Each structure stands twice: as structure tokens, then as C-alpha cells.
A and B are shown apart, each in its own frame.
Chain A
Amino acid sequence: MIPLTHVLAISIGLFAIGLFGALSRRNAIGILMAIELLLNATALNLVAFNAYLPSAPAGGQALGQTVTIFVIGIAAAGAIVGLALILAVYRQTKTISADEIHLLKG
């Protein structure tokens, strides 16, 4: 019914929008949100290939979904540490605009 290319088009669109946000948002938490979009795009890609292409890995046909569980877990870990870093920097410099955090700049 729905070709694989259409699902991949949605995943590519999410990836491009997330990449644009990660490169151009001024706010550090905005950058974190765009990174979550990037990870979601890859997870959607994995699940789509799992659903459309039958394969026979060792553990049954659920390799794509299993890796997606790991991607979701690692995204959670990344968001946790990223937010802790942002909080620490905010406490120090009272700003979270990525343009104004340049303490290491010469």
C-alpha cells in the first residue's frame, strides 16, 4: 500500500530539518531538541527497513526494532547529560545562548 520510499522520504525530511536546527539554533536547548529529531529520524529509518525487508539474522526478524530500542535509550542518555551540562553552564554564565558561551575563545 505505502511504498518504502515514501516512509524513507519522511525519515529523510526529519533528518534534514533536525540537521538544520542543530546547526542554526541559537539556544542550547533548541539544539538539543533538534538532535532528538535527528535520532528519531534514524530510528524511523531502522523500523521502516525492518518492516519492509524480510531478513534472517540470528535472533529472528526483529533486529531493526531491537536496535531502535537501543537508539531510544542512548538518546535518553544523551539528553540527560546534555541538559546537565547546560544547567551547569547556565549557573556559571547566566546564559544559554550558544553564541555567548565562548569562555575558551582566545
Chain B
Amino acid sequence: MTPPWLVTLLSRAAWGSFYLLGGITLLGALGVVLTRNLFHSALCLAVALLGVAGLYLYLAAEFLAVAQVLIYVGAILTLLVFGVMLTARIADPTVPALNRLAWAAALVAGGIGWVFWRAVAATPGLPARPSVVVSLETLGRGLVTTYVLPFEVLSLILIGALVGAICIARRPS
């Protein structure tokens, strides 16, 4: 029997930590695009991806949270770190991180973000609490019955990407 003050405290903590997690995710994303050192950039990307995985947990997408950690942080980020280690002069302090068009790019990105935010804010009737809980069985059953075609095409895409990458990056013999 949990005491009511504990229930209130935990729900307040859950509500507050959502915004904390969102803030950490956005800070990690800023770190990705602003740091000069590429390896630090990869680590900030790991923070941002883990933050997004935590946000999936808030949205009742537990399988997606685990898949995000396994695939994005576990595989794609490792691949990016491989690429960084193999190619870059990682800690070159004389090369700036952003090119000449950085201010124009910031303007464009800020403008697009503002347009999206106006569209979201002008939409009436967006709900205030999540209501859909998706079971893993629904997800799995959908992948092999209704959405089996994109599922199989995705595996073909991945095989094509693998073979193509090996062909592209192979040492010319």
C-alpha cells in the first residue's frame, strides 16, 4: 500500500524528469553540431540518442526504446566512431567546426522550426495525455501480417546497403 504522498511525489518526479530528459536530448543535439572535436561530437550524439530512447519509454514504446539503444547507439554509433577513427584528424584545433554558411543555415533551420511550431500551436484539440498503449504482440503481429511487405523490403534494403558498402569501401585490388 503506497502512501498517497509517495504517489504524488513519484508522479511529479516523472512529470519533471520528462522535461529534464528532453532538455538533455536537445543539449546533446547542440553538442553534436557545435563541437570541433569529432569524437566529442559522436559522444554527444550518443547522449541525444539515449535521450530519445528514454522519451520513447514515456510514450509507451518499450520495444522501440530497446531497439533504439541496440541499433542506434549499439550499431550506428559504433560505425560512426569507426569512421571517425579511420579518417579524421580528430582534434585539429585550427579547423573550425562550421563552414562559412553557418549563419544562413541557422536562419533557415530556425525559420523552418518556427514554421513547424506555428503549425503545431495553431492545431486545435491536441490531446493532453497519452492514451494508447501498444502491446508487443500487436507490433509483432502487424509486422508479419499487415506490414509484411515493407518488412521484407527493409531487409532487402539492408542487404543491398551491406553489399554496396563493401563494394564501395573495398581496397582497389
Interface string of B140-165 (1 = CB under 8 A from A): 01110111001100100110111011
In the complex, how many residues of chain B place their beta carbon closer than 8 angstroms to a beta carbon of chain A?
Answer: 90
Chain A interface mostly: helix
Q: In the complex the two chains form, is B134's CB within 8 Å of A14's CB?
A: no
Q: In the complex the two chains form, is B113's CB within 8 Å of A25's CB?
A: no
- How many CB-defined contacts (below 8 Å) exist between A and B? 263
A interface residue count range (under 10 / 10 to 19 / 20 to 34 / 35 or more): 35 or more
- Bound-state Cα–Cα, A98 to B98, Å: 11
Chain B interface mostly: helix
Q: From residue 9 to 52 of chain A, which have CB atoms closer than 8 A to chain B?
A: 9-10, 12-21, 23-27, 29-30, 32-34, 36-37, 40, 43-44, 47-48, 50-52
Task: List, in ascending order, chain B residues with CB within 8 A of A84's CB.
Answer: 164-166, 168-169
Task: List, in ascending order, chain A residues with CB within 8 A of B98's CB.
Answer: 24-26
Q: Using a CB–CB distance below 8 Å, which chain A residues touch chain B?
A: 1-10, 12-21, 23-27, 29-30, 32-34, 36-37, 40, 43-44, 47-48, 50-54, 57-63, 65-66, 68-70, 72-81, 83-88, 90-91, 96-99
